[in-house]
Amino acid sequence: MNSTKTVGMKAFRADILHLLGDPGETLNHETSEQIEFIQDGLLVVKDGLVSEVGPADALINTLPADCEITEYPNQLIIPGMIDTHVHYPQSDMIASYGEQLLTWLETYTFPTENQFSDHAHARDVAGFFLNELLRNGTTTALVFGTVHPESVDAFFEEAQQRNLRMIAGKVLMDRNCPEYLQDTPETAYEDSKKLIEKWHGKDRLLYAVTPRFAPTSSNEQLAKAGQLLEEYPDVYMHTHVAENTDEVAWVRELFPESRSYLDVYHQHKLLKPRSVLAHCIHLDDEDKQCMAETGSAAAFCPTSNLFIGSGLFDYEDLNKHDVRVGLGTDVGGGTSFSLLETSSEAYKVTQMLGKKLSAFQALYLATLSGAKALYLDDKIGNFAVGKEADFAVLDFAGTPLIERRISNCKGLHEKLFSLIMLGDDRAISATYVLGELAHEKHNMVNYW
Ligand code: GUN
Ligand code: ZN
């Protein structure tokens, strides 16, 4: 098993791009203070943390003589990407045909999740899932388990072995789902408490109290979730909200006393800093203001929202309301583990609303904005000195088509935009965790 910290100094030489804040709509990195691009840069890592970042010609002579330097000519180092909403148990049912949310859950999701009472099965899927994230340049994720505590143990065991910064939790659901997947308010509370005590803050792992969505929890269970958050104020809250119009209508019937779907969570004291709500498509202005005021974050999951026909997330509007926003793949409702592909779909959703999403905004969403949504921007999200050195190396020759398109590009924005629109796992040369190699594309035979 790897140790948590990696001792020693090492350096990585390539072009380097990271965000220092929201880049806004600019397409010109040279005039933005929020975009740092270093052509032929050096990222210096000490004991797994960023110790310096800057131009290679200025820094290289300052390194100790025995410092190992890894070079990636004509490639681009970016911070490890952050997936703010994903279900690891749904890896095996990704791309299931023909249903929208409520029938999709009944037909495909619940039967698949039933298998996760088996710890060995859960570990097998968790290992596959984490390797898939690493192949796609994702180094942190906020992850749904299933209702079974074993599913969360299995996930954290695999994440701990890979030294990853991961957040996960046991699903709470005590009604409106098959009996074989139901817990109770009491077991939900007791099982979550045990998992928090066991895993929250262990190495790089963090816990999220995870009510599936309002329809599958009773008022009593949501109250227990609120109690857990009061007892453990620095754990996360992770759920879904306002994804699908039938779901919204159902919540109105189930909770007639609430002003809105979001208000169900607010009334149960579930909205606070470190609360992350996936989808947020059918919210009104009062809801958006409530998200901002409570410090809650929205996960923008475009491949899922298109695939299960849910609707269009309005990034510009949520941003205008000062709501924290991250990107989510939402596998298996989502159809890709790649946050590059997810960004490409985010661009298309934004186009459908008659708005734009630049490549710099997309990279911000996939890195620093995700870190802010998770209140982890003191640890990950860019290469500020002292942050954890999780990063991905993007390959501008990742596929023949990307290489050809890039050869026609002028300027950084056009290059990055083409790579994001055309890229997926094949555009990730390598992924590093705490400065240690965790995935390398060219070690795979007949990879593409
Ligand atoms: N709402 C409740 N459960 C789920 C789920 O598993 N996936 C998605 N996309 N939405 C949900
Ligand atoms: Zn989801």
> Residue 366: inside a domain, yes or no?
no
In sequence order, what DSSP letters do the residues of 176-219 get, joined into one string? SS-GGG---HHHHHHHHHHHHHHHTTSTTEEEEEEE--GGGS-H
Cα 16 versus chain centre, distance: 21
Whether residue 3 has pLDDT greater than 70: no
> Residue 55: inside a domain, yes or no?
yes
Domain co-membership, 294 together with 403:
no
Domain co-membership, 7 together with 88:
no
Of 145-154, 214-223, 414-423, 439-448, where does mean pLDDT reach its minimum? 439-448
Domain co-membership, 268 together with 132:
yes
Domain co-membership, 125 together with 204:
yes
Q: Does the Cβ of 138 fall within 6 Å of ligand 1?
A: no
CATH of residue 325's domain is: 3.20.20.140
pLDDT of residue 442: 79
Domain co-membership, 76 together with 105:
no
Cβ atoms 256, 354 nearer than 8 A: no
List pLDDT tens digits, range 217-240: 999 999 999 999 999 999 999 999
The number of domains in the chain is 2
| Cα-to-centroid distance, 204 and ligand 2 (Å) | 23
Domain co-membership, 9 together with 99:
no
List pLDDT tens digits, range 345-373: 999 999 999 999 999 999 999 999 999 99
Domain co-membership, 174 together with 307:
yes
| Cα-to-centroid distance, 446 and ligand 2 (Å) | 33
| Cα-to-centroid distance, 40 and ligand 1 (Å) | 43
373-378 mean pLDDT: 99
Mutational test site, ligand 1, from 109, 175, 177, 261, max ligand atoms within 8 Å of CB: 109
Cβ atoms 377, 35 nearer than 8 A: no
Domain co-membership, 222 together with 123:
yes
CATH of residue 28's domain is: 2.30.40.10
Of 310, 337, 364, which residue sits at a domain end? 337
pLDDT of residue 325: 98
Domain co-membership, 41 together with 95:
no
Ligand 1 nearest-atom number relative to CA 101: 10
Q: Does the Cβ of 216 fall within 6 Å of ligand 1?
A: no
Residues spanned by the domain of 392: 2-80+381-444
> Residue 361: inside a domain, yes or no?
no
The protein residue whose alpha carbon is closest to atom 9 in ligand 1 is: 333
> Residue 362: inside a domain, yes or no?
no
Domain co-membership, 399 together with 328:
no
| Cα-to-centroid distance, 346 and ligand 2 (Å) | 16
Q: What is the average pLDDT score of the chain? A: 96
Domain co-membership, 36 together with 138:
no
Cα distance between residue 363 and residue 357, in whole Å:
10
Ligand minimally distant from the alpha carbon of residue 277: 2
| Residues 40-67 as b or e (16 or more Cβ within 10 Å = b) | ebbbbbbebbbbbbbebeebbeebeeee
- The dihedrals phi and psi of 20, each to the nearest 5 degrees, come to -105, -10
Domain co-membership, 93 together with 232:
yes
Cα distance between residue 224 and residue 175, in whole Å:
15
Band of pLDDT at residue 8, cut at 50, 70 and 90: confident
List pLDDT tens digits, range 290-320: 999 999 999 999 999 999 999 999 999 999 9
List pLDDT tens digits, range 10-47: 999 999 999 999 999 999 999 999 999 999 999 999 99
Whether residue 6 has pLDDT greater than 80: no
Amino acid identity of 196? I
